[in-house]
Amino acid sequence: MLNQTWRVRKIIPVCALVGMLVLSCLPLYAADNQEPVGDVGAAKTNAAAAEKLSKMDPREIASLDALLAHALTLYYDRKFALALPIFKELADKAETMDIMFWLGTSAAKTGENELAIEKFKKMLTIDPALHRVRLDLASVYFSMGRYPEARQELEIVQAAMPPPEVNANITRMLAAIEERARKVFWNVRLDAGHMWDDNISSGPDPGVYSLPGGSSFQPAPTAAKLRDEAFVAAFAGNVLYDVGAKKGLLWNTAATVYSKTYYEYSQFNYLAVDVNTGPWYADTNNSILKIPVGYTNTKYGSERLTYILHVDPSYEYFFNPFFSLKGTYTYKDERYFQESLAALFDNRAHIIDLAPTFFLGDRRHIITARVGYDHHTAKSHLYSYYAPLAGLSYFTRFPTLTELYLGYQWTQRDYARTQGFPYSGFERHDKRHFVSAVLSQTLFKYFNLSYEFGYTDNNSNLDLYRWDKTTHTVRIGCRF
């Protein structure tokens, strides 16, 4: 049997016996013909196996040789699940160091990690200099999330002065272990820029409007369409804490600040600060559940405007690498600081939407559709509405580190009550179309330059509520 084994291995390149250490599909050995660390072929044969073979009948040895030849054919065809039970049978009869290696490798490839660990550790007990086996053992530990044990095995090999290319890959693997073992992840994004806005009040065109019954109405100058330019700035940051095992329970805390300061009409300045926190749960690679709870404070002009308590649970399931489906529910409780406004506009909103997403071209093209429903209940039912909504967006990334986003959203607001002055007794129905586009270019890794376009068309059955708005914004930002 041993002679047969060596004949088979003379036909198969030695490199095929090398276990591969995988880091995001990066082999530890950069090419098949590189000299490995350690040598399974030179390993000492288990003495007990040799003794068993010496006592076997020649016909039994021939049978084992045939089984081994079949197992090796399956093994090198990468049919590890079929080869594994044959190697187990051979190991029960006479377990040589070679069979231990093939059995351990097949077990690792088919997810029987504990068996793989058992065989690789047994080989290292017999010959601690089998560094290729030690690398395979580290690979199994890494796949199981047992990072301290993987690091220990890698450091032993590194201390043996492996070839430079192998040492470089071990260094990358150690860095990956450090990254995987991290508990806290954070990022910060800052940007600022200039906005051109042709309707800062979201009001109708200036002029005199005819009303039912023959009367007329003229909006105040600051309630009609006004043009201005603004300085805009934004901050966003979050801290993600890994509570338990990888892809399990996490806790995310995020904060955003958005500021818009007009140069001429400062009464339309706007500031919003939001903080939210809550658990995330990632189920392997298939789904993620998020339950953030937040608080938003807004300022309009020089006065505090509202505070909002909100909860935004979402669940996204990835059916395969090309398609996911995300469901989101948002509850908002918005309160106005001024009593006169609070009596009219304090409101609660329930928003439900469903978003299928398609990932194409190695995720370079992302298409997302959205359908949903917004039920907005204000203290004065004149401002309460029901609003179905739908949208479509497209995102792509070019090799030049240029990103393009295109989005469209439609919604129809059907107000719950007939309107007051100047449209007393009339029902209000608004159809709103919003188109957006963002072109962004990464600069020097951490910086980016972007241009944003936004267009809103609010088409109402009541003339005074018809308006459109176009914005152009140029920003420069950085991220860490």
pLDDT digits (tens, 9 = 90+) for 116-174: 999 999 999 988 988 889 999 999 999 888 888 998 999 999 888 888 888 888 988 89
| pLDDT for res 9 | 35
Please tell me the distance from the alpha carbon of residue 457 to that of residue 319, in angstroms, as a whole number: 36
Contact indicator for 162, 131 with CB cutoff of 8 Å: yes
Residue 110 vs residues 44, 82, 106, 243, 315: alpha-carbon distances, Å: 27, 10, 6, 29, 31
Report the CATH number that the domain containing residue 368 is assigned in CATH.
2.40.160.40
Instruction: Reduce the secondary structure of 60-114 to three states and give it as a string.
Output: HHHHHHHHHHHHHHHHHCCCHHHHHHHHHHHHHHCCCHHHHHHHHHHHHHCCCHH
Provide the sign of the torsion angle of the four alpha carbons 379, 382, 388, 391, taken in this order. Answer: negative
Number of domains in the chain: 2
Last residue of a domain, one of 118, 147, 181: 181
Pair 250, 154 in one domain: no
pLDDT computed for residue 324 by the predictor: 96
- Best CA proximity match to 235, nearest among 200, 191, 274: 191
| Same domain membership, residue 324 and residue 299 | yes
> What does the pLDDT look like over 159-217, one tens digit per residue?
888 888 888 889 888 988 887 777 888 999 999 999 999 999 999 999 888 887 778 88
Same domain flag for 158 and 143: yes
The CATH number of whichever domain residue 52 belongs to comes to 1.25.40.10
Verify that 94 and 30 share a domain, yes or no.
yes
Last residue of a domain, one of 124, 155, 181: 181
Question: Which pLDDT belongs to residue 449?
Answer: 97
Same domain for 190 and 177 = no
Whether 79 and 144 map to the same domain: the answer is: yes
User: What is the structure's pLDDT at 442?
Assistant: 95
> The pTM is what?
0.69
Q: Is the dihedral of CA 86, 80, 65, 50 positive or negative?
A: negative
Domain boundaries, position 325 = 184-479
Q: What is the pLDDT of residue 323?
A: 96
| Shared domain check, 247 and 142 | no
- In terms of domains, do 409 and 384 share one? yes
Q: Are residues 99 and 221 in the same domain?
A: no
Q: Which residues contact 447 (CB under 8 A, 6 or more apart)?
A: 476, 477, 478
- DSSP 8-state symbol, 4: H
Q: Give yes or no: residues 150 and 235 share one domain.
A: no
| pLDDT < 50 regions, the chain | 1-44
Of 157, 181, 205, which residue constitutes the final position of a domain?
181
**Under DSSP, is residue 140 helix (H, G, I), strand (E, B) or coil?**
helix
**Do 17 and 71 have their domain in common?**
yes
